[in-house]
Amino acid sequence: MFFPEYRPRRLRRNEQLRSLVRETEISVKHLIYPLFIVEGKGIKEEVPSMPGVYRFSCDQLKDEIKEVLDLGIPAVILFGIPAQKDEIGSQAYAKRGVVQQAIATIKKEAPELVVVTDVCLCEYTSHGHCGIIKNGEVDNDLTLEQLARTAVSHAKAGAEMVAPSDMMDGRVARIREALDEAGFSHIPIMSYAVKYCSSFYGPFRDAAESAPQFGDRRSYQMDPANVREALREASLDVEEGADILMVKPALPYLDVISRLRAEFNHPIAAYQVSGEYAMIKAAGRLGWLDEERAMLESLLSIRRAGADIIITYFAKEVAKKLS
């Protein structure tokens, strides 16, 4: 089939034809919206490096939840910023902790909204690392116990899914075991299976006050240079009982999403992280990019790479655009 027999432009002539042959779609039903919850009352403050994203105290959540629900967004993922931090992150599993209270509030307002919780210690530890420090290092196995307690306390508070983001070895198995023992065998684990040590988390660390106070996260998060290691990480999580595999960040790691899609039959989630959001917002504000088109194109590319689910700060804007 040589030119001019096959002319690809024939199918691009008008929107009806283009739409007929379109391979990938973004739909609001694939999106999860992240929410930052702070302790206190009467707080709704914009995150400076994330225009349009706010930190809410529980009493201010009502309108936001209603909007999310009205827009048809099926799920939220919660990040808590506690008033008190300590060496072991004990507020992460406090019965009246910030996330535990937020879950109750949301479930009351919107029982049909799926509430996912991020399970990690970095927002709760005084040193900002994702685990317990022993002899100057993050101790893997001590941390597992804290993560398991945290996941169970979220489930007890009413969370419908837990998402461990710490990158400790063996945490999916330990959390699965703890959930099952506590009567939560029906609660799925969305594992941040492949989480890179990325510069794109910058704005999040401002929002969650979770920047490490010494060193960095390279001894537990993945080296951005590696993709075969990503497959090993994902295999381990599958063996340990993960229900959904996540890749994070998304746009700089589309190849990783695509490899996971090819190798695994589990649902794949991708996290379009704070820095990806901030980049598009900033260029849009400067008039250097068409913000809306860049937003839609970035999400479409993540879907095209093979993600079923996308966690994105753009969720509300996309939903408005699509409706």
Which residue out of 85, 195, 281, 316 is catalytically annotated? 195
Out of 99, 122, 187, 234, the residue judged to bind ligand PBG by CB under 6 A: 122
Of residues 19 and 80, the one with the C-beta less far from ligand PBG: 80
Which range binds ligand PBG by CB under 6 A, 36-44, 82-90, 103-111, 117-125?
117-125
Binding mask 45-84 for ligand PBG (x = CB under 6 A): ----------------------------------------
Which listed residue (38, 162, 193, 273) binds ligand PBG by CB under 6 A? 273
| Residue 70: CB atoms within 10 Å | 11
Does 253 help bind ligand PBG (rule: CB under 6 A)? Answer: no
Nearer to ligand PBG, 107 or 205 (CB): 205
- Region binding ligand PBG by CB under 6 A among candidate stretches 114-122, 145-153, 182-190, 288-296: 114-122
3-state secondary structure (DSSP) of residue 166? coil
- Contact flag: residue 143 with ligand PBG (CB under 6 A): no
Burial class (CB in 10 A: 0-12, 13-18, 19+), 310: buried
204 touches ligand PBG by CB under 6 A: yes
Taking every pair of Cα atoms in the chain, the longest distance, rounded to a whole number of angstroms, is 70
Does 233 engage in binding with ligand PBG (CB under 6 A)?
no
Strand partners, 79: 36
Beta strands 44-47 and 31-38: pairing type? unpaired
Residue 215, phi-psi category: left (phi > 0), alpha (psi -120 to 50), beta (remainder): left
Among residues 105, 26, 33, the alpha carbon closest in space to that of 74 is found at 33
Question: Judged by CB under 6 A, does residue 120 bind ligand PBG?
Answer: yes
Our finding on whether 93 is near ligand PBG (CB under 6 A) is: no
Nearer of residues 120 and 178 to ligand PBG, judged by Cβ: 120
Does residue 205 belong to the site contacting ligand PBG (CB under 6 A)? yes
Report how far residue 243's alpha carbon sits from residue 190's, in angstroms, rounded to the nearest whole number: 6
Whether residue 44 lies in the annotated active site: no
CB-side neighbour CA atoms (13 Å) of 278 = 17
What sign results for the dihedral spanned by CA atoms 64, 70, 71, 77?
positive
Phi-psi region of 29 (alpha: psi -120 to 50; beta: other; left: phi over 0): alpha
Is residue 95 part of the annotated active site? The answer reads: no
User: How many Cα neighbours within 13 Å face the side chain of 173?
Assistant: 12
Q: Which of 248, 281, 316, 320 is catalytic?
A: 248
CB 112 within 8 Å of CB 69? yes
The minimum distance between CB 148 and ligand PBG, in angstroms, equals 16
List residues binding ligand PBG (CB under 6 A): 118, 120, 122, 130, 165, 201, 204-205, 210, 273-274
- Catalytic residue positions? 195, 248
